[in-house]
Amino acid sequence: MQITEGNYQISGVNALDLCKEYGTPLYVYDTAKMEAQYKRLTKAFKGTKHKMNYACKALSNINVLRFFKDLGSGLDTVSIQEVQLGLKAGFAPDDIIFTPNGVSFEEIKKAVDFGVRINIDNLSILEQFGSYYGGTYPVCIRLNPHIMAGGNIKISVGHIDSKFGISIHQTRHLERLVKSLGIKVEGVHMHTGSDILDVDVFLQGADLLLNVARDFPDLKYIDFGSGFKVAYKPNDISTDVEELGKKMTKIFKEFCAEYGRELEIEFEPGKFLVSESGYFFCKVNVIKQTTATVFAGVDTGMNHLIRPMFYDSYHHIENVSNPAGKKRVYTVVGYICETDTFASDRQINEIKEDDILCFRNAGAYCFTMANNYNSRYKPAEVLIHKGKAHLITKRQTLDDLLANQVEIKL
């Protein structure tokens, strides 16, 4: 989003006009940014046989899924519903990898029926899988590298106490299960966390995973997860994917030469692909000043954007209605009956009631985590594609809130 002729615009579309047409609160996504991020990643690993599987939990609208499919992406899913969305979006089953955690074996069997790739992250399910399918259906194995990484403990998933993955210290047990049950392992996988800045963390995990991979002779691919950091604040730093690509490509080629054939290197980017493409617009309902604080109360809350409350995450906030205004200090809060503070003591161009504010980095884990707390409606979603706005999710109504409720006579 840039200021052009005094107005904020997204790929040539006026931001205030979008808010007038579709109302607020409103999520807006720019496919131009999604495509640029996807091409940046694929270019970084062009020296290898590679595949990017978009992690659709970040933003699961079917139009976004189709967009990435058309770019050549695969799909990373974590629930049977995401698998079904991916198939409906047109992904071939072999282009979908299913990496659940803590689900029933019945859900695993449903995924097998759909023909997608199965990624198993615990020994109990692996044993059930092997007993049921034997070597008739190949699997991928998710390992836990015991690496503490990520921008927040809640998104660090590769440490020793994590519920995700089979411990690297259980590989002997893993190998015995695979051999005794005749399980065909076609891939190995790991994911250490999100918002990882240090390239060396990826390389450390890669070294561990490749050491385990040597013990499985029928591999087709090795999946290194994702966790690439994007910029959240002005002048913020992000993962140097070009440096990572250069170093990982060298390591992976050397491994493939030792392994005896070329394998595919895979990643599961979600936030990296869509975070910066997203903008969340809301209207200022009230300016309230206390003895110490100036509050800007907006027409949304943690029901629509929970990340600041859940993860203490930072979202840069701009006053779209006053691009050239003088900076003042505000605490931006929502309208939910909780302490739903988006930002405290933040410098923002002077805000008045009815102004439109914009939250940056609203493409990943924002709308997908929205809910109806306080019986508030979920907002609309708009996709900007080639300079044109498209409504991709309608704003909810009271009928939507009541659709699945069953009224009874008491």
Residues annotated as catalytic are 337
Asked if 380 and 22 touch (Cβ cutoff 8 Å), the reply is yes
Phi, psi of 405, rounded to the nearest 5 degrees? -85, 140
Is 127 part of any known ligand binding site?
no
How does strand 341-349 pair with strand 327-333? antiparallel
**DSSP conformational letter for 247:** H
Closest CA to 397 of 375, 382, 364, 381: 375
Closest CA to 376 of 338, 321, 328: 338
Which uninterrupted H or E stretch holds 190? strand 185-190
Is 314 part of any known ligand binding site?
no
Is 259 part of any known ligand binding site?
no
Is 307 part of any known ligand binding site?
yes
Asked if 273 and 232 touch (Cβ cutoff 8 Å), the reply is no
Closest CA to 119 of 78, 176, 69: 78
Give the tokens for residue 35. 């495509």
User: Which residues does residue 333 pair with via DSSP β-bridges, in sequence order?
Assistant: 297, 341
Cα–Cα–Cα angle for 22, 353, 380, rounded to 5 degrees: 20
Is 214 part of any known ligand binding site?
no
Alpha-carbon span 115 to 20, nearest angstrom: 44
Give the tokens for residue 42. 């694929």
**DSSP conformational letter for 314:** -
Asked if 338 and 276 touch (Cβ cutoff 8 Å), the reply is no
Helix H segments across 72-198? 80-88, 105-114, 123-133, 171-181
Could you tell me which residues are annotated as the binding site? 227, 307, 311, 338, 365
Binding residues for pyridoxal 5'-phosphate: 227, 365
Annotated binding site for substrate: 307, 311, 338, 365
